Amino acid sequence: MNKFDVVVIGAGAAGLFCAAEAGKRGRSVAVLDHAKKIGRKILMSGGGRCNFTNMYASHENYLCSNPHFCKSALSRYTQWDFISLVAEYGIAYHEKTLGQLFCDESAADIVNLLVSECRKANVEITTRCEILSVSKTDEGFALSTSMGDYECASLVVATGGLSLPKLGATPFGYKLAEQFGLNVLPTRAGLVPFTLHEKDKTILAELSGVAIDTYATCNDTTFRENTLFTHRGLSGPAMLQISSYWQPGDILHINASPTFDIAESLAEAQLKNPDSLITTWLSKHFPKRVAATFCELNRWDNKPVKQLNSKEADAIAGFFEDWQIHPNGTEGYRTAEVTLGGVDTDELSSKTMMSKKVEQLFFIGEVVDVTGWLGGYNFQWAWSSGWAAAQYV
Ligand code: FDA
């Protein structure tokens, strides 16, 4: 029988950080993970450089059925606390854009930091460990696993969401929550590329690899970032961000001319270069391929701009200012960076992350119904929620 004060299930960002912080408080801690390797999502995050936090992280950057829930943890372990830890380890980092901090070298630096913090705190990490059952005892919890039986006073569930099943994602955390009578909100893929209906997909596939500056809007939320055309549909930061606000059936609004007034530009072209073709005029603002493909998409006759009547000119300007797309769906958990929904925050204390129904049962990280924007916010939630639970296990 393996006896610990704390067992953490899941050796990802939240689980490892929570384990180290609990160990520092003198608790004996075991981390169990079914995967061969720990921190696999960290290793592949940020294109291998891990966008480990965001300088501007606040509760406003998160989706949650209770928008106030994440305030407490985020304010008690902040981005600046994690940045100090990264600096303590001498890990070089830089701001890429919009407050997003990335390692200069490798995401492995962050995993090594977590392992080192766990070692200092005498945390025992076991991989390839299947959790077969979990039950409540008078003293805490009993776990039956492929690596033997465990007993602990506090149990922390840090098994993440459903995205990237090939990296070891499972619904374990949601099922465990339900086993103990906690409500779990429906889950769906977030920060995920859109797929398109066949006609749009075929035409726009011509632009595969091209990115344009856009405002993307859905359900009263707007992001100003790049939209990337792919052979499957639409991706890039603007699309990933807005995908978390999109529900099947919703229309996506794209403003493809955020830095210039397209109607004014067309009027000027009609005055100064009346014989230039629509595609030639559009090529002033967009790559040539974009101009030609948008003409095809809208069935605009590629004629000299002087031949456009005011209705046609308005239609062209209207398209660039508010291109309305009906996505076919998203690429789903196969490529999503996060999972929306999860363990209902009404079931948890925002101060401790402990279940209100079951003493000493904690849920942290992505398994909870708290989902950050793209840009380091999800790791910050893993650090902050992990730290909060670590103070009370
Ligand atoms: P995480 O998924 O990290 O860890 C869960 C752990 O639980 C895993 O080790 C898993 O093996 C284990 N587990 C699952 N089921 C189990 C079971 N049944 N038994 C035992 N163990 C089990 N965020 C960000 O802020 N900046 C970024 O740059 C990126 N980049 C990024 C890229 C890609 C490709 C993805 C998929 C995601 C990101 N993210 C991100 C999101 C970020 O990776 C994610 O939000 C955090 O890893 C969540 O941390 P958790 O510890 O909650 O789960």
Q: Among 230, 236, 242, 243, which residue's Cα sits nearest to residue 97?
A: 236
Mutational test site, ligand 1, from 7, 86, 159, max ligand atoms within 8 Å of CB: 159
Residues 255, 240: one domain?
A: yes
Ligand 1 within 6 A of 33 CB?
yes
User: Which residue has a Cα nearest atom 24 of ligand 1?
Assistant: 376
> pTM of this prediction?
0.97
Residues 178, 36: one domain?
A: yes
Find the CATH number of the domain harbouring 267.
2.40.30.10
Centre of ligand 1 to C-alpha 360, Å, is: 23
Domain residues for 252?
Answer: 194-330
The total of other beta-carbon atoms located within 10 Å of residue 241's CB is: 21
Ligand 1 within 6 A of 107 CB?
no
Ligand 1 within 6 A of 163 CB?
yes
pLDDT of residue 317: 94
Ligand 1 within 6 A of 14 CB?
yes
User: Ligand 1, closest atom to CA 160?
Assistant: 53
Which residue is associated with the tokens 């899941």? Answer: 10
Alpha-carbon distance of 369 to 161, in angstroms, equals 10
Residues 349, 229: one domain?
A: no
- For residues 97 and 70, the answer to whether their CB atoms sit within 8 Å is no
Which of 330, 350, 369 delimits the end of a domain?
Answer: 330
Q: Report how far Cα 182 is from the mean position of its chain's Cα atoms.
A: 24
Ligand 1 within 6 A of 114 CB?
no
Ligand 1 within 6 A of 237 CB?
no
Residues 245, 385: one domain?
A: no
Structural domain total, the chain: 2
Which of 291, 308, 330 delimits the end of a domain?
Answer: 330
Ligand 1 within 6 A of 375 CB?
no
Q: End-to-end CA distance of the chain: give it in Å, rounded.
A: 20
User: Which residue has a Cα nearest atom 31 of ligand 1?
Assistant: 45
10-residue averages of pLDDT along the chain (393 residues): 97 99 98 97 97 98 98 98 98 97 98 98 98 98 98 98 94 98 98 96 95 97 97 97 97 96 96 96 92 93 95 95 96 97 98 98 98 98 99 98
User: Ligand 1, closest atom to CA 168?
Assistant: 11
Residues 206, 253: one domain?
A: yes
Alpha-carbon distance of 235 to 237, in angstroms, equals 7
Alpha-helix residue ranges (DSSP H) falling in 98-188:
108-120, 172-179
Residues 133, 245: one domain?
A: no
Which of 314, 330, 346 delimits the end of a domain?
Answer: 330
User: Ligand 1, closest atom to CA 107?
Assistant: 28
pLDDT of residue 325: 95
Residues 18, 156: one domain?
A: yes
Ligand 1 within 6 A of 140 CB?
no
User: Which residue has a Cα nearest atom 23 of ligand 1?
Assistant: 378
Ligand 1 within 6 A of 50 CB?
yes
pLDDT of residue 227: 97
**Concatenated DSSP letters for 300-345?**
----BGGG--HHHHHHHHHHHH-EEE---EE-GGGT-SEEEEEE-G
Q: Among 339, 375, 352, 348, which residue's Cα sits nearest to residue 73?
A: 352
User: Ligand 1, closest atom to CA 163?
Assistant: 36
Residues 110, 246: one domain?
A: no
Residues 81, 221: one domain?
A: no
Ligand 1 within 6 A of 61 CB?
no
Residues 184, 198: one domain?
A: no
pLDDT of residue 300: 93
User: Which residue has a Cα nearest atom 32 of ligand 1?
Assistant: 45
Mutational test site, ligand 1, from 45, 333, 338, max ligand atoms within 8 Å of CB: 45
- For residues 28 and 5, the answer to whether their CB atoms sit within 8 Å is yes
Ligand 1 within 6 A of 49 CB?
no
Q: Among 61, 45, 149, 150, which residue's Cα sits nearest to residue 98?
A: 61
Ligand 1 within 6 A of 45 CB?
yes
Ligand 1 within 6 A of 127 CB?
no
Ligand 1 within 6 A of 103 CB?
no
pLDDT of residue 354: 98
pLDDT of residue 67: 95
pLDDT of residue 19: 99
pLDDT of residue 226: 97
Which residue is associated with the tokens 């929570």? Answer: 18
User: Ligand 1, closest atom to CA 15?
Assistant: 51
User: Using only C-alpha atoms, what is the Rg of the chain?
Assistant: 24
pLDDT of residue 156: 99
pLDDT of residue 84: 98
Residues 239, 132: one domain?
A: no
Find the CATH number of the domain harbouring 46.
3.50.50.60
Alpha-carbon distance of 215 to 198, in angstroms, equals 24
Phi and psi based region of residue 325 (left: phi greater than 0; alpha: psi -120 to 50; beta: remaining): beta
Residues 180, 209: one domain?
A: no
